[in-house]
Amino acid sequence: MSRGFLTVYAGPMFAGKSAYLIEAAAHADNVLCLAPAFDVRSGQRLHSRTGVSRPARSIEEWPQDARDFSDIVIDESHFLVSPYYRGDVVADILSARDGGLNIVAGGLDTDYHQEAFPVMTRLMAAADRTVMLQARCHACGAPARWTAKKRETGHVLETGDADLYEARCDAHWTLPE
């Protein structure tokens, strides 16, 4: 059995990561789409702000039937950490890749403090291909590589959309008030 391939899409919110993942899933023949059970915004679907979506399985641990598929697409990978995920998702992904599965994973590379999400750092380091995406700054329209939180809630791992987050460039990124 040959080794699979791991592609990671990373960047700030509003960069189009989910759209790339949905596109990857559309080109796979036997694909399993996964999303963290912690993220209940879209139900059991991968959802893009472009309006496209795809059914997905909500997970808290690696699916036992993963090897029944040739391709796995994982959205919001930065959420797949304890206490929201049982086990080590990076080890699970690498084991699946070593077993011949092709995996496309996406997630935020940094939090709203500009601190790296360790799970994403590990995935990007192990990836066969990493694609860093940028959004457009909500303040000026320039390329944005940061996620900014509009108001402090006391949570680093927190779901939300434009109600809570914005993409920001270097010049306009700030911590929430």
Instruction: Give catalytic residues, as residue numbers.
Output: 76
> What are the counts of helices (DSSP H) followed by strands (DSSP E) for the chain?
3, 12
Q: Name residue, tokens 């995920």.
A: 85
Name the residue type at position 66: A
CB 46 within 8 A of CB 73: yes
Tokens of 102: 């092709």
CB 57 within 8 A of CB 75: no
Sign of CA dihedral 136, 142, 145, 149: negative
Length, in residues, of the chain: 177
The answer to the question of whether 9 is labelled as a binding residue is no
Annotated binding site for substrate: 165
